[in-house]
Chain A
Amino acid sequence: MTNIIDTIISVWITHQITLRTIQHLYMFSIALIISILIGVTLAILVYSNPKLANVWFNVLNVIETIPELALFIFLLPILGLGEKPTIAACVLYSILPIMRNSYTGLAYVSNEYVEIAKAIGLTKNEILLKIRLPMALPLISSGIRVAVVYIMGIVTLGGLIAAGGLGVPLQAGIYRYDIPAIIIGALWVGTLGVIFDFIAWIIENRLARRFNPW
């Protein structure tokens, strides 16, 4: 038992896992915030111009099918190596789930509520802001939850292109066949993923109860 704890501590120190975790979460948060902003904004734009909906979703679907590594390579000439292309890749992947869910949430608010909102004198924009957007929050947040898992994975992969983060100890472990580093790194990334997914789940649940209680 003391052996295991000793190993964990030594791996933690040699691979600077505290620092790597901070880098990891830094990229994670930036990518998540940008994805939410872009995803929700696009959803609102597409909702207001439904003719564009198909175009947008097709473009994003195509991006979604590109393997992460290939995407890194596409981004290399534009953004180089490191944090920037990693964050960009995270954002490109996460826009689709967030946008798709937000769009569905906005477009499929029960007609009854839209009708009564119109009948008591709300304009189209007021209906969007005061009725559709809040009532879509549970769906938007479940889209964000999907994005959380995506981003966790892609940030880890960013270790490959010198972005830092928890991908680095994993990579190092693989090259040196350092099994404790691989196991501890993987478990730690997995735990973080589970924790964030859990937090997102709690938020999603709360929103669902608050904004869509029927």
Chain B
Amino acid sequence: MGSSGSGKTTTLRLINRLIDPDEGTVYLNGNDTKTMDPVKLRRKIGYVIQQIGLFPHMTVKENIGLIPNLEKWKEEDISNRIDELLTLVALPPDLFRSRYPNQLSGGQQQRIGLARALVMDPPLLLMDEPFGALDPLLRMQLQNEFLSIKRKLDKTIVFVTHDIEESFILADRIGVMHGGKMLQIGTPSELLFEPANDIVSKIIGAENKFKAIKFLLAKDVMIPLKNCVIESDISCKEAISKMISDKIESYIIKKSNSDISQISLIDLLNEKDQEKSILGLGTRVNVVAPSDTLSSIISLLKLSNDSMAVVIDHGKVLGVVRINSVLMNLV
């Protein structure tokens, strides 16, 4: 992420050797790219650009099948692969296979561009502002589709954008570039809460952090929990001694995947029947998923008039979101 002229596109072009570095080395899975044949290298790297990028004289099928054809794949394999990819990018193959790019909308062209980049199943995908030329509504839709495709594919993607929102929505890690230098690489919350310097904080818009509630996810803002979770059936007495030895004041009790309670040391001490199992005690707390956004967590807490939610992923307690401390960080 970075403003125009910060060197984002140049970085991409260095990776697939459209430019060779004056100094330094580009490593791909530990191998120096300079030792590889540039054509073979590029065929193993998917590339999607902002401008149309599809060849106007080729049909959708020919565009996607261009490299497989040159690689002498069997005609049948190419067809199957193309249909598979068109389905992945949500375009019915029978309708789109034989169209020309000028018979497609901007969004459809961009999807075909993505399909073409994926055809050789490359481990690495380079995307240069692929949604830059689209109108905001379509852009949002394609971003969402891209997110779900990204999850399905499980590939390394280097995605260039000048749009902070886009980078927050799409990225796992964001590298902030300015004046040809990589200033900081980190998760959205790292960049927001611990910017490396003033330029980063200015580019990220750190003074307007509250805007980030739409993008920050539960997993970004939660406080990780290690030994404060009790799943087993123990008595109050045992729980109290465990708490004292672990020097903690409060336990999260997991009764089932969705039934999570919290109990504090004081509550436990006030319990008359000390032999009673703690599974029947405690107050129920809100449960959120790691990919829930901060804004949805805030709405949930507002509804239940609570100040804390527990983050659970596939039945595993990851941490808690304490809304007070999160909000303190945002201003």
Q: Which of B16, B18, B66 contacts A130 (CB 8 A)?
A: B66
Interface residues on B, range: 20 to 34
Q: Is A53 at the interface (CB under 8 A from chain B)?
A: no
- A-contact bits for B38-79, CB 8 A (1 contact / 0 none): 011111010101011101110000000011001000000000
In the complex, the answer to whether B102 meets A119 with C-beta atoms within 8 Å is: no
Q: Which residues of A contact B39 (CB under 8 A)?
A: 121-123
The count of A-to-B residue pairs whose CB atoms sit within 8 angstroms is 57
In the complex, the answer to whether A214 meets B56 with C-beta atoms within 8 Å is: yes
Q: Which residues of B contact A119 (CB under 8 A)?
A: 13, 16, 18, 42, 47, 49
In the complex, the answer to whether A118 meets B42 with C-beta atoms within 8 Å is: yes
Give the complex CA separation of A126 and B70 in angstroms.
9
Given A119-B47, A120-B47, do A214 and B102 touch, yes or no (CB 8 Å)? yes
Interface of chain A, main secondary structure: helix
Interface residues on A, range: 20 to 34
Give the complex CA separation of A113 and B52 in angstroms.
9
Given A120-B47, A120-B116, A130-B66, do A213 and B102 touch, yes or no (CB 8 Å)? yes
Q: Is B285 at the interface (CB under 8 A from chain A)?
A: no
Give the complex CA separation of A177 and B288 in angstroms.
103
| Smallest beta-carbon distance B101→chain A, Å | 8
In the complex, the answer to whether B53 meets A116 with C-beta atoms within 8 Å is: yes
Other than A115-B18, A117-B55, A122-B39, give 9 A-B pairs with Cβ distance below 8 A: A113-B55, A119-B18, A120-B66, A120-B116, A120-B117, A121-B43, A123-B39, A130-B70, A135-B56
Binding site for B on A (CB under 8 A): 112-113, 115-123, 126, 130-131, 134-135, 137, 210-214
Q: List 17 A-B contacts (CB under 8 A).
A: A112-B51, A113-B55, A116-B47, A119-B18, A119-B47, A119-B49, A120-B42, A120-B117, A121-B42, A121-B45, A122-B39, A122-B70, A126-B70, A130-B70, A131-B55, A211-B56, A214-B102
Binding site for A on B (CB under 8 A): 13, 16, 18, 39-43, 45, 47, 49, 51-53, 55-57, 66-67, 70, 100-102, 116-117
